[in-house]
Structure 1
Amino acid sequence: MAIELPQQQIERIREHGQETYPNECCGVLLGKEQDGRKVVLEILPLKNARDDSPRNRFLILPEDILHSDREARRRGLEIVGFYHSHPDHPARPSEFDREHAWPWYTYLILAVEKGHPKELTAWLLSDGRSFFPEEMRIAGDGNTKQISSTPSGSSSAATL
């Protein structure tokens, strides 16, 4: 499966990561599953509800997920994934990410270095509780651009 999103939504994620630095940002990806891929049409930036360690953890409250799901349904969409940032750390899933992730959903991770958004990667959690890379594509003006699936220093994720 691949995930496809417009450049505008990528920029919104990058801005959210920059705004919340040095804390992690988080949000929901809204879209549809079409022809074997997830198509992101909107994002919902959310407040990181983590009080004890927001610099290296994020928390989306259950009521925020319920609100996001209702909003998605109202728009004829569904939740297809989540995003969050890793301030001053690589855009790779942490053990904490793995322990709290759900299968099927896409997890976009944005590296933010010294306040500047850098690498964005896409991941899926297998039923066996391991993350694996998900192909990421930029959609726009009827054209789709496939992104390299080899991030810096790794061969295990799609990257922007």
Structure 2
Amino acid sequence: MPLILPPNHFQKISTHAETAYPNECCGLILGRQNQQTKTVMEVWPAENAWQTEADEYWPEQKDFTEERRYAIPPELMLKAMKYGRERYLSIIGIYHSHPDHSAIPSEFDRTYAWPEYSYIILSVQKGKTIDFLCWSLDHNHQFQSEEIIKR
């Protein structure tokens, strides 16, 4: 399903990724979904809470740092859900960056992804966004490319 991404929201995501470099950035994408498209209405940059959340939720991953992993604080997810409900918006996706790596999902990304979300991944090389792709999980829990329409 195509994701309609207004240029101002793309710029906000890209700036967040470049500012966070060399660490991964992350954030929430709020919007609306119909039968044909998902439309981004708001972008919520998040603090990468990997170090805080890893010990509790992913002890087997604790050797990784914010340079290769991300976690969105659970309280931000709840806040976004409540905010969205009041405005007829939903969390339709999550974005994060891959510093000095491609915009292709990692195995970790796939393992912890939710099927109903779109995942924008930005490749940030030497502090500059050079590529961004959107992905969603299929029924076999494999990532499939999603078209991004910038308008």
| 50, 55, 67: which one aligns with 2:67 | 55
- In the alignment, is the contact (CA less than 8 A) between 2:97 and 2:123 conserved in 1? yes
**What TM-score, normalized by structure 1, do the two folds share?**
0.84
Letter matched to residue 17 of structure 1: A
Number of the residue aligned with 1:28: 28
**Whole-angstrom distance in 2 between the partners of 1:126 and 1:104:** 9
Counterpart of 2:92 in structure 1 is: 80
Task: Check the 8 A contact 2:47/2:73 in 1, yes or no.
Answer: no
Contact map agreement 1:82 1:106 (CA 8 A) in 2 = yes
Correspondence 1:40 to 2:40: yes
SS at match of 2:10: helix
Q: Which runs of 5+ in 1 are unaligned?
A: 140-160
Map 1:1-160 → 2, pairs under 5 A: 1-51=1-51, 53-139=65-151
d(CA) in 2 for partners of 1:69, 1:128: 27
Q: Between the two proteins, what is the percent identity of the paired residues?
A: 42
Q: Which runs of 5+ in 2 are unaligned?
A: 52-63
Is the 8 Å Cα contact of residues 28 and 82 (structure 1) preserved in structure 2? yes
Aligned alpha-carbon RMSD (Å): 1.0
Secondary structure, in 3 states, of the residue corresponding to 2:72?
Answer: coil
| Offset of residue 75 of structure 1 | 2.3
Per-residue displacement from partner, 1:1-36 (whole Å, max 9, x unpaired)? 111010000000000001111100000011001341
Q: Could you say what secondary structure the match of 2:140 adopts?
A: coil
Task: Could you list the structure 1 runs, at least 4 aligned residues long, displaced by more than 6 angstroms after superposition.
Answer: none
Larger relative contact order (Cα-Cα within 8 Å, sequence gap ≥ 6): 2
**Letter of the 1:85 counterpart:** S
- The one-letter amino acid of 2:46's match is L
Q: CA deviation at 1:73?
A: 1.6
Secondary structure at 1:48's aligned position in 2? coil
Query: What is the one-letter code of the residue matched to 1:18?
Result: E
Does structure 2 conserve the Cα–Cα contact (< 8 Å) formed by 1:86 and 1:111?
yes
Aligned equivalents of 1:109, 1:79: Cα separation in 2? 16
